[in-house]
Structure 1
């Protein structure tokens, strides 16, 4: 992708301009981002997805639509009869990670790869009956809201008071103060940076596609990195046990010996002596498939080109390639070709032939694992 070229998707802005002017800075309304856009899944297909065990879905019924006058939240899977009637106003079903289950939606996500894959999370589809929504709220991540069917009225604002209505099953801002209002038609799109308050209400039956991005909290990232590093620590630190032949008798037995503190420090330093340990752990974390994702065993490559499965996450840094939570050292021509596979999500037969024998063996194993498939 040439990041200097203007895109209809961004209202005529180039990706370079969009990222400098709007990304994590201010909202952008884009009329006809995808002219003539129609839902990639119809209502029946979306409902079928919401019924699957390996698909994350939620049902939100607004207070005015509930007989008891309360907001209701229920987690799927949902059989069709467990959803309210389509003629009933004020309810929404949200289906997460649709890009993992439908190739058409996965291809739509590829249009947003001017943002690093390490940040790209998933595409959620929300179906709402007239008046349906999830209430005024804010997200901790960037989001593109693409209207796919019907119309939705959005009210947005820079919210200073982030307090929530107490004792609610959904997170609703207690004192929402909108500053702007838009009605989106099919193909229109609204970009919102993190913590920008918004409230979307369906005007008639509607579908909205939400393209969301990962924004890990620093504490969460630290915990995951430490867990990953800990798994490598035993191999790096070795099996030497603590010994203290020079230990003298003590009268203050509860005090931790200085030698033991030193031993602990040396053990930690040994575990982290590999200067690439942190990079390796980060790449493995960022490519780890979500808990509900699994792959079906495939056929080994027959020597042709290959493409990544839509559920496969593949990244790289200056020393490694990472795929689905695993890391591999790469250098030279192999590294260049593996990076090409990660960026283009496919590799031609000619390029596969240029790989070393060990790298070709890796591709064959990934095909057998269902991470790659032969190019049609």
Structure 2
């Protein structure tokens, strides 16, 4: 397992206890074995693709802090000024497998919290302005240098410059700052105001962001799931019904009856909550959806092909998570879908979700079990697993 090079005898455990979601931490030369291998031309090429989320930020564009959204063309980049602009590309780990290996350093944080690796290229003095993020982020300096400034004062929505596509803070007074060189890593907790400015050309930074779904978003998804469950409950019924003097009045007894029925129907057990959250948190973005294979394989045919290939790797577009059930069935969650497996399969789901490259020899004993083989075959037919020659 790859590990971060924490400073001053800090361990993953002590980092999570004393820094995570509490205060920043600078890690010099934090990833000694990781090489980004990404250049500006390759990043610009990604930004020209229709299914890739990208944006340009110009400090001195048509308006101060102008944001432009991709996909772009080669002409766009040819017309850019010599300084004060930044290109940002989301989900680079999904599009370029070498970048995905950066995520291996963060397995001490649950995978369901991981979002993506955003990569930015900045010309001299390029930045996205002073701002805050609502989520945890690790900022890795891959090439060039970037100076990061932060301040700890609370920020509200009223503090941002109005009328912009970006959340820019007009008044930013730095309380701390660091110059990051290639190989350095800066952790920032949510809602800490920060401002990163490139010093010199060819500045490439990788931002490892973590999912922090809003409770409003979760509440909407929860209610939708409950609505599907309640579809079979039928409709309101009046029995017993008695004559009413004022026909326009809603009687208290009616409200009490409706409330009691809703409370009864909205009661859910722990299994419903567990399975709902797994489906919700594993959902992928609309531009990262996968289509199943047009010619699916049978479990026997897949087993033989896997044996011959010896390895199979996860599709980078697939979010694969699992949780253990309390009623003899565990669940694998893949891009919002659920697959169930008997709990006696042991660590099979833990292995399946931890590694992006799976070896036949390591899984061979599990693949002798029909349920496990069927599950892996289903993942292949759903395009979540890929052989090297495909």
Is the structural similarity TM-score above 0.5?
yes
2:328 paired residue number: none
Q: Secondary structure at the match of 2:29?
A: coil
| 1:258-310 alpha-carbon deviations (Å, 9 max, x no partner) | 35753564366346455421211111001111111122545643343544222
2:261 paired residue number: 266
Q: Secondary structure at the match of 1:292?
A: helix
Say if 1:153 and 1:202, in contact at 8 Å, map to a contact too: yes
* CA-based RMSD: 2.6
- 5+ residue gaps in structure 2? 326-330
- Post-superposition shift, 1:57? 0.4
| 1:206-249 alpha-carbon deviations (Å, 9 max, x no partner) | 111111011122222212222222223325x3x4x444353122
2:314 paired residue number: 308
- Post-superposition shift, 1:24? 1.0
Q: Secondary structure at the match of 1:71?
A: strand
Structure 2 residue 85 is matched with structure 1 residue 91: yes
| 1:318-347 alpha-carbon deviations (Å, 9 max, x no partner) | 212212211233333325312321123455
TM-score (norm 1): 0.88
For residues 151 and 164 of structure 1, what CA distance do their matches in structure 2 show?
27
For residues 337 and 352 of structure 1, what CA distance do their matches in structure 2 show?
11
- Post-superposition shift, 1:61? 0.6
Q: 2:43 aligns with which of 38, 42, 46?
A: 46
Larger mean CA deviation between 220-229 and 191-200 belongs to: 220-229
Q: 2:18 aligns with which of 16, 21, 25?
A: 21
Structure 2 residue 366 is matched with structure 1 residue 354: yes
For residues 293 and 306 of structure 1, what CA distance do their matches in structure 2 show?
20
1:223 paired residue number: 220
- Post-superposition shift, 1:9? 5.9
Structure 2 residue 60 is matched with structure 1 residue 59: no
Q: Secondary structure at the match of 2:112?
A: coil
Structure 2 residue 229 is matched with structure 1 residue 232: yes
**CA 1:227 to 1:335, structure 2 compared with 1: closer, same or farther past 3 Å?**
farther
**CA 1:245 to 1:168, structure 2 compared with 1: closer, same or farther past 3 Å?**
closer
For residues 239 and 180 of structure 2, what CA distance do their matches in structure 1 show?
76
For residues 152 and 8 of structure 1, what CA distance do their matches in structure 2 show?
20
- Post-superposition shift, 1:145? 0.6
Q: 2:284 aligns with which of 268, 289, 298?
A: 289
Structure 2 residue 263 is matched with structure 1 residue 279: no
1:204 paired residue number: 200
For residues 92 and 312 of structure 2, what CA distance do their matches in structure 1 show?
23
2:99 paired residue number: 105
For residues 365 and 140 of structure 1, what CA distance do their matches in structure 2 show?
36
Corresponding residue pairs, total: 367
Q: Secondary structure at the match of 1:137?
A: coil
Q: Secondary structure at the match of 1:59?
A: strand
- 5+ residue gaps in structure 1? none
Structure 2 residue 136 is matched with structure 1 residue 135: no
- Post-superposition shift, 1:38? 5.0
**CA 1:232 to 1:124, structure 2 compared with 1: closer, same or farther past 3 Å?**
same
For residues 329 and 335 of structure 1, what CA distance do their matches in structure 2 show?
13
For residues 346 and 234 of structure 1, what CA distance do their matches in structure 2 show?
41
Say if 2:129 and 2:195, in contact at 8 Å, map to a contact too: yes
- Post-superposition shift, 1:182? 1.3
- Post-superposition shift, 1:364? 1.2
